[in-house]
Amino acid sequence: MKTRARKAISVLLCAALIVSASGTAAFADVKEVSYNDGICEHHKVHTDTCGYREARPEVPCKHEHTDACYKYVGVESPGDATESGGNADRDRVLDCPHEKGNHDDSCGYQPAVEAHPCEFNCTECNNISFVNEDGESERHKATPVTDSSVTLWDTSENDGWYYVTGTVNFNGNEQNSKRIAVKGNVSLILCDNGVLNANQGIAVPAGSSLTIYGQSSGSGKLNASSSSYNAPIGGTPRDVNTETAGTAGTGNITIVGGTVNATVKIKGGGPAAIGSAYANNDPFKIEIKGGNVTANAGEGVGAGIGGKNADITISGGTVNATGGYIPGEVLPQLSV
């Protein structure tokens, strides 16, 4: 019987709650960023839909209790009857809706409102909002991905930040045609309702990294697939830029938000849907901190997420990973 190389899915579930040493310091940081005057000349004033809210303290309840706010508890027996109504042995207890948080228009109560930053995306300034790994809105200058003419994403502009809004298709018809490759530490923002279809996937070679962010609704989508020995997101057995075989390895992949679908579309091939390509042995990291991630090795024989020497950490999000098919063996599945 032949020995078959087996895929490994190693998963470390890590629920980390990091509490700032000083909550007040964190609050002060938020206050220092002033969005009062909008974010740029194209968004001078905040709107109902941009997400901006100023912090407001709680307005306390001014309700004063009346007799109607009390009730009597305990068993009333006929012998207890008194002139005042027969409650001599019963306890009078407060039963007021305002005490239970059910306020009305008369009491003036208003809950505190937390500040929220503006999430307006200025596509003229390329000043784009995203949700960071702490679930907070931030913004970064980013390069728009408007069509498939540029397949090398590097750090020469905007520190390697890119964003997708609307629908952008990269339709390659063979292994490395229209395969996107990142070079350096690249970040991608999937704007809400944006769709990036990359049918030959995104190469993340060793020494580079890809971090994927979403926005507040998480509806921005990356559909990455591969009809070759390339991983839909990750390793490439052949360097897409130099066309040299076997040297590219796999870099670190981090998903913070958005909807990421990765699918292998080759029968019997070995790439992971998210992870290394066939025959890659270099250690690399995959971290999933949020978002909706579906990774499917399809009819290949690779892992859904991982590959040899993959160090996988899942600390948030919804993850469905399905490993490839080996005749006669149980499909390895990971659902978190």
Residue 92 binds to Zn ion (criterion: CB under 5 A): no
Taking the complex as a whole, how short is the minimal distance between the CB of residue 102 and Zn ion, in angstroms? 8
| Shortest Cβ 132–Zn ion spacing (Å) | 18
Whose Cβ is closer to Zn ion: residue 40's or residue 81's?
Answer: 40
Mask of contacts with Zn ion, 101-130, x by CB under 5 A?
A: --x---x-x--------x-x-x-xx-----
State the Cα–Cα distance between residues 28 and 18, nearest whole angstrom.
18
Closest approach of Zn ion to the CB of residue 75, in Å: 25
Q: Does 98 bind Zn ion (CB under 5 A)?
A: yes
Q: Rounded to the nearest whole angstrom, what is the least distance from the CB of residue 96 to Zn ion in the complex?
A: 3
Write down the least CB distance from residue 108 to Zn ion, Å. 7
CB 260 within 8 A of CB 292: yes
Of 276, 284, 119, 263, the C-alpha closest to 189 is 119
CA 172, CA 241: separation in Å to the nearest integer?
Answer: 15
Q: For residue 96, state whether it binds Zn ion (rule: CB under 5 A).
A: yes
CB of 62 to Zn ion, least distance (A): 7
3-state class (DSSP) for residue 159: helix
* CB 274, CB 322: distance < 8 Å: no
Please identify which residue in 40, 59, 73, 331 interacts with Zn ion, judged by CB under 5 A.
40
Q: Is 52 in the site for Zn ion (CB under 5 A)?
A: yes
Nearest to 95 by CA among 136, 65, 118, 117: 65
The reply to whether 163 sits near Zn ion by the rule CB under 5 A is no
Distance of CA 323 to the CA centre of its chain: 22
Residue 324: partners with Cβ closer than 8 Å, 6 or more residues away: 7, 264, 270, 297, 298, 299, 300, 301, 302, 303
Q: Which is nearer to Zn ion, 139 or 308 (CB)?
A: 139
Give the integer Cα–Cα distance in Å for 232 and 228.
9
Nearer Cβ to Zn ion, position 122 or 233? 122
Binding site for Zn ion (CB under 5 A): 40, 42, 46, 50, 52, 61, 63, 65, 69, 96, 98, 103, 107, 109, 118, 120, 122, 124-125
